A and B are shown apart, each in its own frame.
Chain A
Amino acid sequence: MLHATNHRIGRFVLWATLSVSSFAHVAMAEPPNTPVSIVLPSDRMGFQPGPGREVAAGFCTICHSADYIYMQPPHAPETWEEIVRKMQRAFGCPIPDDRISTLVAYLVSQNTVQPIPALTHTDSPPSSRHSGNMNMAQGKVIYETYCRNCHGSTGKGDGPIGRALVPRAADLTATVKSDAELLHIIQGGKPGTAMPAWKGELSSDDMRAVLTYIRSLARK
């Protein structure tokens, strides 16, 4: 292997290849007739801090992960605006016109950042110690910033974006999930849906607070 820059990688992949090949392969004589299932990694909220991040987090991640932005070469503001308009008009992104300049400014501010995808945050579950009314106000602010566009102001999954999703955003007032289950989804996202992982965006306390607020919606 004469790949100077990828020498270690090459060795690693070569080793893996050789090892894997020692496993028996299923012959094609019998076609598969049982369901094949995979679990795709959930979207990790990779947008980096900066003014306008909540717009990117709210709208861009409906359809794609943040790395769609972070793989781009630096684009001029006009190019970013053109891309955002294309998302809005051609791809049906429900972003309102009055949020576009904020989003474009944020995307320009991210031009020179390359976060390491999927690797910047730990998987430790948010602590469930700090519940209580104290968190309610904080939870409401977080909910209205990050959750409302999809789940709606009443939590019924009928926000302006949530209605347009397939499947629709979950009705949080009707959920039978436990706190732990909900925190798990908030933290890690829900594969197969537009629900991203928020662990990169929200602290454990934030997630706990927003859960408190979500529970209050069900009681209204």
Chain B
Amino acid sequence: MQDLRKSMALHDHDRERIENARSSSLANVHSGITRRSLLRAAVIGSGLALAGIRPAHTADQPAVHLPFERGYRPLVAFPQKRPLMLMTIRPPQLETPFHLFNDRIFTPNDAFFVRWHLANIPTTVDPATFRLRVHGHVERSLTLSLADLRTQFEEVELAAVCQCAGNSRGFFEPRVPGGQWGHGAMGNARWTGVRLRDILDRAGVKPGAVQVRFDGLDRPVAEGTPDFRKSLNVEDVMNEHVLLAYAMNGEPLPLLNGFPLRLVVPGWYATYWVKMLNDIEVLNTADEGFWMTHAYRLPADPCRCIEPGQRPARTVPIGRMPVRSFITNLDRGARIPSGKPFVVKGIAFDQGYGIDRVLFSTDGGTHWQRATLGHDYGDFSFRQWKARFVPKTGHTYALQCLAINRIGESQRFSARWNPGGYLRHAVETVQVEAM
């Protein structure tokens, strides 16, 4: 059982380890997925050699340096994952290298970010014996197998962005404690599953129901740690969009993304997208649990912000995602050719109204031009955009993009601060130089 573990770190024993993985992979395979990830480890290893990167302990370790203090993130392959930016080992938190958002509108499963709160993550899940329990303030409790979900309810597919509440926390000024993500704690996928509403209708939600609480198979390590459970108001889940997904991008979820079943709450931050979902409880009072009352909270002020360093008197749970956009084909400090049109590409998304337009500026927001939007994959999906300009030799450009959704909400020009480091949606600047 050593092999996957051994292939995680790309250091100096890499090739030996990959050989180990190859030679003993059959003995360790529990599913096709696992086998594939072993193959990937092997492929990536030879890729290293071909690309001429010398694996070593430190300086040459494939890594991304996020542009803030302590932003070194080695690229490490976890099971069923390609090498991703390692933020923490246990519980695992992995960030998607940002340029991958330029390659495809749907983030590949093996590149999708990973974030767990509790270290007791089941490392074996049997879909044949897995059961989803629905109980609480309902007419009849249900116990459903995955086969029940697939055969007794209508299957739905929907494209939606899953974004961590703390995405981009590392860019907060002043800095705040918490997971120090760059912009890559998000992803866009086609989610396949059944509507939560249909399940709840089958159970029969009783009058007086207030919230629905979701729990997954993950558990705390220490006795005193509150189990990770999240709740949503009944009126926010009884719609056609909230899904129990058993597939993303046409394949089973990677275990680290919540195999075999994950709550999908389009437009809402990922904290509500409970992974390995096996328990749904309808409540007739508001959830008083730690993860609702003490974590993932924003200042109650309408701006959801506060003066840096201050403490909000009142807080509210985080909810839907404000509109955001990014440039995806240029990193800061990039040098671009001059004298001919250059195409800048990017993505935009919001909480589900859909993107109306994206504006693009080359001079830090003084002048704006309208970008061309790409194919519309649905109101909850990334929307690609592109814009052209002709760079002049020797000039430096402060590139910005600004998205506006269909109800006229736009990004902010300056970032607002809150102590949790949530909800960043300011206009980002990418400085480039024309050669």
Contacts and interface: CB of A to CB of B under 8 A. Distances in A.
Contacts of A178: none
A19 B40 CA distance: 9
A23 B44 CA distance: 13
A83 B97 CA distance: 29
Interface string B24-54: 0000101111101101100110011011010
A38 B80 contact: yes
Interface residues of B, number: 103
A188 to B, nearest CB: 8
B69 A164 contact: no
A68 B87 CA distance: 8
Given A67-B87, A91-B222, A118-B8, A191 B123 contact: yes
A65 B90 contact: yes
B78 A90 contact: no
B70 interface: yes
B70 to A, nearest CB: 5
Nearest to B332: A5
A4 B62 contact: no
A13 B97 contact: yes
Contact of A35 (B53, B75, B127): B127
Given A31-B146, A41-B9, A65-B90, A12 B48 contact: yes
Interface stretch (A48-56, A69-77, A131-139): A69-77
Contacts of B39: 20, 23
B87 A36 contact: no
A91 B121 contact: no
A35 B126 contact: yes
Contacts of A36: 30-31, 33-34, 124-127, 252, 255, 259-260
A39 B80 CA distance: 10
Interface in A1-42: 1-6, 8-17, 19-20, 23, 25-28, 31-42
Interface of A: 1-6, 8-17, 19-20, 23, 25-28, 31-44, 62-65, 67-68, 70-75, 79, 83, 90-94, 114, 116-120, 123, 161, 163-166, 191-192, 194
30 contacts: A3-B330, A4-B334, A9-B75, A16-B43, A16-B44, A16-B47, A20-B82, A27-B250, A35-B31, A35-B125, A38-B123, A38-B124, A39-B1, A39-B79, A40-B5, A40-B90, A40-B92, A40-B121, A42-B90, A43-B90, A67-B88, A92-B224, A114-B70, A116-B58, A116-B74, A118-B76, A119-B74, A164-B224, A165-B223, A194-B222
Interface of B: 1-5, 8-9, 11, 13, 28, 30-34, 36-37, 39-40, 43-44, 47-48, 50-51, 53, 57-58, 61-65, 68-70, 72, 74-76, 78-80, 82-83, 86-92, 97, 99-100, 103, 108, 110, 118-121, 123-128, 146-147, 150, 175, 177, 179-180, 192, 219-226, 246-247, 250-252, 255-256, 259-260, 290, 294, 329-336
